[in-house]
Structure 1
């Protein structure tokens, strides 16, 4: 799941959100603003208790920086109906919502991130991540990660010093 750790304004609101921002939250954080149908469907498939990677996007050094837990499965993303919200969608109606949100909680930060260039190298044909959705459809803000991809990447994390709490 991608978020932008550096300032960027959308509809007059700074949408900056980093792993450290998530770590500072005392309540579950809604993962809202998803406005792509493939990403939305990936979000809707997430189950309570599952873990997800936190990916810093649209920054100097993009990459996977930690993990979070899904603590509430999908529900309608009500921000789509608020004209002042960053990702307002006038086509989404309260009686027929198009978009969804899940709630997440911080789990860990990696001692060393796995950068985008490294991920691309791991995604070459014959490599462990050759079919990873994020690498094939790089514009998606929420993408699937198979169990074998998760296991492989967490092995890389462990080799690089692991996770912090």
Structure 2
């Protein structure tokens, strides 16, 4: 099983939204970066994911979700009413992927970015590297355990 981190603005979709969703399931769609899309395509059922709150007052890792449906064509790319519509994408050759994720748990406390940056063993985590703005990224097993240990 692989480990991942996904970023989201909590006003759009945060860990509380997962906790309140029917069956705790939310489709992870609307990703419009090719490298992040490629990471989504690698996700498989059972993969664990840190949910990171970004672009808000309190940024950091807020909780854990799990992939319950591996990559499939993102339906928002075909909907002209969606802000994620892509007129160049076709059902025969979709450009964008989505996965379904399910709520696992909210961390006892948010792990802020500044704390993550100072933790030994996370130097290679894409999240803490300068200039990395991807919304989906892999997390190594050792990095996952370091962060879990910090979460308590």
User: In structure 1, which of residues 14, 19, 26 is the aligned counterpart of residue 22 of structure 2?
Assistant: 26
Q: Structure 1, residues 124-156: CA drift from partner, whole Å, max 9, x if none?
A: xxx311111222353101111011110110010
Tell me how far apart the structure 2 counterparts of residues 34 and 135 of structure 1 sit (CA, whole Å): 20
Q: TM-score, normalised by structure 2?
A: 0.90
Aligned partners of 2:146, 2:42: CA distance in 1, in Å? Answer: 21
* Structure 1, unaligned runs of 5 or more: 7-15, 159-165
Q: Structure 2: state its 5+ residue gaps.
A: 1-5
1:45 is aligned to 2:42: yes
The structural deviation recorded for 1:38 is 1.0
Q: Judging by fraction of residues, say which structure has more helix.
A: 2
SS at 2:68 equivalent: strand
Matched residue, 1:133: 126
CA contact (8 A) 1:134 1:144 kept: no
Q: Give TM-score, length-normalised by structure 1.
A: 0.83
Q: Give the structure with the higher percent strand.
A: 2
Q: Deviations 1:76-105 (Å, cap 9, x if unpaired)? A: 001011121121122212210011000000
Q: Is the contact between residue 63 and residue 107 of structure 2 (CA under 8 Å) also seen in structure 1?
A: yes
Equivalent-residue separation in structure 1 for 2:46 and 2:105 (angstroms): 14
Q: Which residue of 2 aligns with 1:12?
A: none
